[in-house]
Structure 1
Amino acid sequence: MALFLAVATIAISLLAWYSFNFLQSYNKARQIGLPLLFSPFDPWGLFWMLGGAFLGPLLLRLPFGLGEFVNHIKSDWCYLNRNALHQKLGPAFILVSPSRIQIVVGDGVAVEDILTKRHKEFPKLPELYQGLKVFGNNLETAEGDDWRRHRKLTVPPFNERNSNIVWTASLIQARGMLKSWVSAGKFGIICTAPDMMTLALHVLTAAGFGKDYSFQPSERRDSTVIKGEKLSFEVALGAVLDSFMGVVISSAFPTASGFLAKYVSKKVDSMKFTVTEFKRNLREMIEEERAVLKTKSSEKSNLMSAMVRASDLEGTQGDGKRTLTEEELYGNLFIFTFAGHDTTANALMYATALLAVNTHVQSWIKEEIHSVIGKSLDTESWEYEKLFPQLKRCLAVMYETTRLYGPVIVLPKSTGSTPSTLTIQGKEYTFPAHSDVMLNMVNVHHSPEFWGPDPWAFRPERWIIKNGVSGTEELLQPPYGSYVPWATGARVCPGKKFSQVEFVAVIASLFQRHRVQPVPQPGETVEAASKALSEAIEDSECVLTLKMKHPEKARLEWEADA
């Protein structure tokens, strides 16, 4: 009886605590005046994060739609739901759970207002960015004056000189990748996604760290991590990027023991070793760069060397302190690599698959490539300053790809320690302090108001407009609040030009003399293969960034033009 009373008391106490918190969240939300949705679980709570994948499908089977809330708290609900919730509830609504309220804003003008005019009133959610400090505080995790200090030192290296390096490195990698793909013949290749990751990694090592690597197809690349052996910079960086979530966990994981040690100790130890090796490589390269600076015998041109020079020379104060600490140097070098690797590689993967389905778009960009570059000029002779500004259709493919399948489907913000007001379609709302504000980028990029009756269609031509006077083609300047894949305002992604140059160089190189098409299964028509590929593209999920669930289903054949 005593045990029963103890268990009952605990259960009643937990229920009372749960109900009190839910009521507090409800009262906080209803005063705002936006439509409400409810979830019994905190979408970012440990319980749902660990058990949601198992519980979700079971809860969705509940009668009378009782489990419908599951579709609103999945990590990629914005993509899966498309803009159905906003069509039903309006440009903004609130998800109420026991631990928090999430104000979901899908109105493009309001979103861009937050990113430009009101960014100080809507800071980032600090708890979501702690993991990005694994190598040190950086531009992405800093706020206020600290952020301004980081930006002053880290953004200048993203300049035209570096863009030229990106262009050259991208052409070299694309050349090697295309050679590998064409050699596969009619059988086709299923390694587009990992090969694009390799390409993006090598462009980053060249332009970011001055380390050049020849392209190796993913199935031939040796990226084995053997504990105790020194890892090359390429292998260490690749391993960190490939298992970033594990790296974040391992950095905060205490020495495993007891029950946990049996299951996770070996994996965590391996990740800690990878992190240690990556830091060792960074430290050695930074020390090498500092030695060069002391002798002034040469001057490298890459992000790392520019950042070290800015930190050590321009940033040295009278007291001898550097503007960026050693850990902050590591943190910024890593965050630029992390942010630029997955995102650009996935944009290239999606674009390649979309072009395989839409052969008329391939012909459209070929017209431009042949007009600007010609059919026979080898990529070794392509000049960045001359050619990149003219390849507008290739850049339009990137814009349309990132509009449809942008890497960030929701951008988390907050109201910080004070309430904030926001005007949404002419009406002002006051958001309480410590509220989550989720910017629904999928809804912004697919608004029929801006993109017409076919916002879900892949149509890069929509980005090209004819100059009425000269008759030349120009890129569309998207209306305010319709397109922000690199964010905008003061916190716009500093690697925006980097990614654009890389994308255009790769696409122009791939399609100058070659075509791509899906490989039909035995007994399947080309039309059926294209439909299957379209379905594989749509079957995407968000794991940090949006990506295809099964990129191996995209079997593609590359062949030379007739």
Structure 2
Amino acid sequence: MIVTGLSLETLSILVGSVVALRALQLFLDFRRLLANIHHLPGHRTILSSSTVLGRLLPPTPLLILGHDHFWLLKHGPFAERGLDIISAVACWPKAMGSMLIADVNVIKDIVWSRGERFPKPLGQYTVLTFFGENIIASEGNEWKRYRKVVAPGFSEKNKRLVWDATTQIMLDLFDTMWAGQEEVVVNHSVDLTFPDDVIPLGHQLTFKDALRTVTQDLTLTILVPRWAMGLTKSFRRARLAFDELHRYLTEMIHERQESKDEEDNNDLLSSLVSANDNENLSKGEVRLSDSELIGKLQFQTLAEHDYITTAHALSFAFALLALHPDKQEEMYQHIKHVLSDGRIPTYDDMPSLTYSSAVFNEALRMFPPVCAVPKSSAEDTTFTLTDVNGTLKTVVVPKGLDLILDVPGLHYNPKYWEDPFAFKPERFLGDWNRDAFLAFSGGYRGCAGRKFAETEGAAVLTILISQYIISIKDEPQFAGETYEQRKARVLDARSMLTLAPTRLPLVFRRRT
């Protein structure tokens, strides 16, 4: 017993010593990192938000910033410290630091920098390679190859096709599913059903439902082993959606491979399939198997598909117009002025439908799809900017430090956007600071599908507002809430693969 007691005591001393030494090492590394960034003011936490645990835990002062802190805090942390570059330093599981940036000139310097000064920190994109290598999780020559492959799919001709297809879908919606109804009520805007939302033979979900579920449950699908995906109803739903999306994309690839119609071979999918043909491969490149091609296409679909980017932005635009009926009426009058004969708008009308585009841009400014754009510093450098008092400041950036372009911080920065929390579409009608708008990222790595999203957004808003009035659905449980409470409730958002409304109940009433 004495020997055992001594052994346990010795063991506890050893364990305690190891823990103490590890804590001391973490503390010293933490202090060293702060010294390397010259103690730039900012966030100090125990846990890093870049870890798996950090992505799951809610924001907790001193413990962790949380996955959604960019969206939740917006420009607040910069305003508190009087400078549009701040730091975020955590000490566990190791000393980790980054600089958060909401200064337009510094961001311009980063996104338009030639060479490899500010590459993507590809380690942070490991989760996005779950489906295979892709354009977002790539750099250098590999990214250039992906860009070359996808660029033809975003042609001017295809933008016109996007407008025409969107117009037809909206008109079909009005003439079929909404026919004979003076009011259409939806409990959540992203669940809005369209005429083409049918389940084809051999499938259990529509393409849209499969895509949406995979998007929402992406982290779940990656973290939970395949054998465990049948244990709960939500797990089974996620597994089904993943399998259905895989099946849809397999069918789409085979259809494109067999298609002889040139009219069907000008889109993004066809570009990817064509680039994988033996005769189009560069020297040394290996042809992808169907499985590998599906992996690339699966992530590309998640990253670039209109549902993820445009549908969420449109949901927020609907909510903002419903909450601001004066702006909605102003938009309606503008549409009537442009389309004075009451005709259906065409793609050629888009340059004149400036208010529709302004509403879409303002929704994207207030609710950016992606809240953080990570970069890294490949060399020791400095940034120069002015603080809140107009004093010139130099920020030292050591080699290897992560840089985060804080999109909500930029979009809610009063230096570039007057009254940034107010819904003001008119701010996009005149001259506006395009470098302070990062909804589609920026610079050389800007979103290739930006014009498609803008085209679809303008078409949907124009056609919908020309024929319907949007309002917030009245619900008994919220009868006593104030306007500000209602606004906070319906505009509540959370970050999935992109920023999405939590629940947005709407009413669409036909204009008389």
- Give the structure-2-normalised TM-score: 0.85
Cross-structure match for 1:80: 72
Cross-structure match for 1:192: 189
1:443 aligned onto 2:409: yes
1:309 aligned onto 2:274: yes
Q: Distance in 1 between matches of 2:29 and 2:200?
A: 51
Distance 1:231 1:536, change over 3 A: closer
Q: Distance in 2 between matches of 1:305 and 1:263?
A: 35
Cross-structure match for 2:423: 458
Deviations 1:366-421 (A, max 9, x none): 122122224632x4xx432x1122211100001111111111222222225x4444
The amino acid of 2:189's aligned partner reads T
User: Where do residues 134-283 of structure 1 align in structure 2 (5 Å cutoff)?
Assistant: 134-178=130-174, 180=177, 185=182, 188-195=185-192, 214-216=195-197, 236-249=210-223, 253=225, 256=227, 261=228, 271=238, 274-283=241-250
* 1:133 positional shift: 1.8
Deviations 1:27-54 (A, max 9, x none): 123232222432111222344445x24x
Q: Distance in 1 between matches of 2:268 and 2:358?
A: 27
* 1:161 positional shift: 1.8
Distance 1:29 1:504, change over 3 A: same
Query: Which segment drifts farther, 5-14 or 359-368?
Result: 5-14
* 1:185 positional shift: 4.8
* 1:4 positional shift: 4.5
1:410 aligned onto 2:376: no
Q: Secondary structure at the match of 1:102?
A: strand
The amino acid of 2:84's aligned partner reads P
Query: Which segment drifts farther, 2-11 or 87-96?
Result: 2-11
Cross-structure match for 1:210: none
Is the 8 Å Cα contact of residues 421 and 428 (structure 1) preserved in structure 2? yes
Is the 8 Å Cα contact of residues 540 and 546 (structure 1) preserved in structure 2? yes
1:424 aligned onto 2:417: no
| Number of residue-to-residue matches in the alignment | 494
The runs of 5 or more residues in structure 2 that have no matched partner are 387-391
Is the 8 Å Cα contact of residues 152 and 267 (structure 2) preserved in structure 1? no
User: Where do residues 105-124 of structure 1 align in structure 2 (5 Å cutoff)?
Assistant: 105-117=101-113, 120-124=116-120
The amino acid of 2:165's aligned partner reads A
Cross-structure match for 1:373: 339
Q: Distance in 2 between matches of 1:262 and 1:484?
A: 37
Is the 8 Å Cα contact of residues 102 and 409 (structure 2) preserved in structure 1? yes
Q: Secondary structure at the match of 1:550?
A: coil
Distance 1:29 1:264, change over 3 A: farther
Distance 1:12 1:191, change over 3 A: same
Distance 1:347 1:480, change over 3 A: closer
Q: Distance in 2 between matches of 1:493 and 1:449?
A: 25
Cross-structure match for 1:65: none
Is the 8 Å Cα contact of residues 223 and 235 (structure 1) preserved in structure 2? no
The amino acid of 1:285's aligned partner reads M
Q: Distance in 2 between matches of 1:512 and 1:229?
A: 36
Q: Secondary structure at the match of 1:38?
A: strand
Distance 1:168 1:102, change over 3 A: same
Q: Distance in 1 between matches of 2:230 and 2:252?
A: 35
Is the 8 Å Cα contact of residues 138 and 328 (structure 1) preserved in structure 2? no
* 1:20 positional shift: 1.0
1:492 aligned onto 2:446: yes
Q: Distance in 2 between matches of 1:131 and 1:355?
A: 36
1:516 aligned onto 2:470: yes
Q: Distance in 2 between matches of 1:531 and 1:182?
A: 34
RMSD of aligned residue pairs (Cα, Å): 3.4
Distance 1:270 1:3, change over 3 A: farther
Distance 1:439 1:39, change over 3 A: same
Is the 8 Å Cα contact of residues 38 and 97 (structure 1) preserved in structure 2? yes
Cross-structure match for 1:536: 489
* 1:139 positional shift: 0.8
Q: Distance in 1 between matches of 2:277 and 2:211?
A: 24
* 1:297 positional shift: 7.8
Amino-acid identity (%): 25
* 1:92 positional shift: 1.4
Q: Distance in 2 between matches of 1:528 and 1:234?
A: 34
Q: Distance in 1 between matches of 2:42 and 2:326?
A: 44
Deviations 1:316-350 (A, max 9, x none): 3477855x775664344333421232221111001
Q: Distance in 1 between matches of 2:80 and 2:425?
A: 29
Q: Secondary structure at the match of 2:416?
A: helix
Distance 1:314 1:152, change over 3 A: farther
* 1:128 positional shift: 2.5
* 1:163 positional shift: 1.2
Distance 1:147 1:402, change over 3 A: same
Distance 1:310 1:191, change over 3 A: same
Equivalent of 2:48 in 42, 45, 56: 42
Is the 8 Å Cα contact of residues 335 and 462 (structure 2) preserved in structure 1? yes
Cross-structure match for 1:433: 399
Cross-structure match for 1:344: 310
Q: Secondary structure at the match of 2:422?
A: coil
Cross-structure match for 1:125: 121
Cross-structure match for 2:389: none
* 1:184 positional shift: 6.0
Q: Distance in 2 between matches of 1:299 and 1:178?
A: 27
Distance 1:86 1:330, change over 3 A: same
Deviations 1:417-474 (A, max 9, x none): x44443334544332233221211112112212222x111001012113xxxxxxxxx
Query: Which segment drifts farther, 131-140 or 279-288?
Result: 279-288
Cross-structure match for 1:334: 298
The runs of 5 or more residues in structure 1 that have no matched partner are 61-67, 200-213, 466-475
Distance 1:135 1:36, change over 3 A: closer
User: Where do residues 4-83 of structure 1 align in structure 2 (5 Å cutoff)?
Assistant: 4-33=9-38, 34-50=40-56, 52-53=57-58, 68-70=61-63, 73-83=65-75
- Give the structure-1-normalised TM-score: 0.78
Cross-structure match for 2:510: 560
Q: Distance in 1 between matches of 2:200 and 2:215?
A: 12
Is the 8 Å Cα contact of residues 93 and 105 (structure 1) preserved in structure 2? yes
Q: Secondary structure at the match of 2:152?
A: coil
Q: Distance in 2 between matches of 1:314 and 1:156?
A: 18
Q: Distance in 2 between matches of 1:421 and 1:325?
A: 45
Q: Secondary structure at the match of 2:47?
A: coil
Distance 1:165 1:530, change over 3 A: farther
Q: Distance in 1 between matches of 2:489 and 2:144?
A: 42
